[in-house]
Amino acid sequence: MTDPTISSNGTAPPKMANSRGIFAGRQEPVPLIFEMSVPGRRAGSLPPSDVPAKPVDELLPEGERRRELNLPEVSELDVVRHFTRLSKRNYSVDSEFYPLGSCTMKYNPKLDENVAGLPGFRQLHPLQPEQTVQGALRVLYELERLLAEVTGLPGVSAQPVAGAHGELTGILMVRAAHIKQGRVRKKVLIPDSAHGTNPATAAMAGYDAVTVGHNRRTGELDFDDFKAKLDDECAAIMMTVPNTLGLFERQIVDICRLAHEVGCYVYCDGANLNAMVGQVRPGDFGVDLLHSNLHKTFAVPHGGGGPGGGAICVTAELEPFLPAPVIVRHADGTYGFDADRPDTIGRVHGFHGNFNAALRSYTYILSLGREGLYDVGANAVLNANYLMHRLKEAYQLYVDRTCMHEFVLDGRTLRDHGIRTLDVAKRLIDYGYHPPTIYFPLIAPEAIMIEPTETESRETLDAFADAMLAIAREAREEPERLHEAPHVTPIGRLDEVRAARQPDLRWRAGTQRKAAATPAEARHEAAVQGRV
**Beta strand 289-293 with 265-270: parallel, antiparallel or unpaired?**
parallel
Residues 159-187: what's their mean pLDDT? 96
For residue 304, the model assigns a pLDDT of 63
What topology does CATH give the domain 112-121+132-367?
Aspartate Aminotransferase; domain 2 (3.40.640)
**Alpha helices, DSSP H only, in 75-159?**
76-88, 110-116, 119-122, 134-151
Once rounded to an integer, what is the mean pLDDT over residues 147-160?
98
In the prediction, which pLDDT does 117 show?
92
Q: Are 95 and 21 in contact (CB under 8 A)?
A: yes
Task: Please report the pLDDT score of residue 60 as a whole number.
Answer: 78
Express each pLDDT in 109-146 by its tens digit.
999 999 999 999 999 998 999 999 999 999 999 999 99
Q: Which residue has the higher pLDDT, 167 or 46?
A: 167
Give 377-394 pLDDT, tens digit per residue.
Answer: 999 999 999 999 999 999
The DSSP 8-state label assigned to residue 81 in this structure reads: H
Residue 64 in this model has a pLDDT that exceeds 90: no
SS3 207: coil
Angle (CA) 436-393-402 rounded to 5° is 70
| Long-range CB contact pairs, 30-33, < 8 A, 24+ | 30/82, 30/85, 30/86, 30/89, 30/490, 31/82, 32/507, 33/72, 33/74, 33/78, 33/79, 33/82
**pLDDT higher than threshold 60 for residue 1:** no
pLDDT digits (tens, 9 = 90+) for 224-238: 999 999 999 999 999
pLDDT at residue 530, as a whole number: 44
What does the chain come to in residues? 532
Q: What is the mean pLDDT of the chain?
A: 89
What are the structural domain ranges in the chain?
112-121+132-367, 496-528
b/e sequence 177-202, b meaning 16+ C-beta within 10 Å: bbeeeeeebebbbbbbbbbebbbebb
Confidence of residue 43 (pLDDT cuts 50, 70, 90): confident
For the cut 60, the answer to whether the pLDDT of residue 50 exceeds it is yes
Strand partners, 267: 238, 289
Give residue-wise pLDDT tens across range 483-500: 999 999 888 888 888 988
DSSP β-ladder status, 265-270 and 234-240: parallel
Can you name the residues that pair with 221 across neighbouring β-strands? 214
CA torsion angle 436 440 445 447 (round to 10)? -20
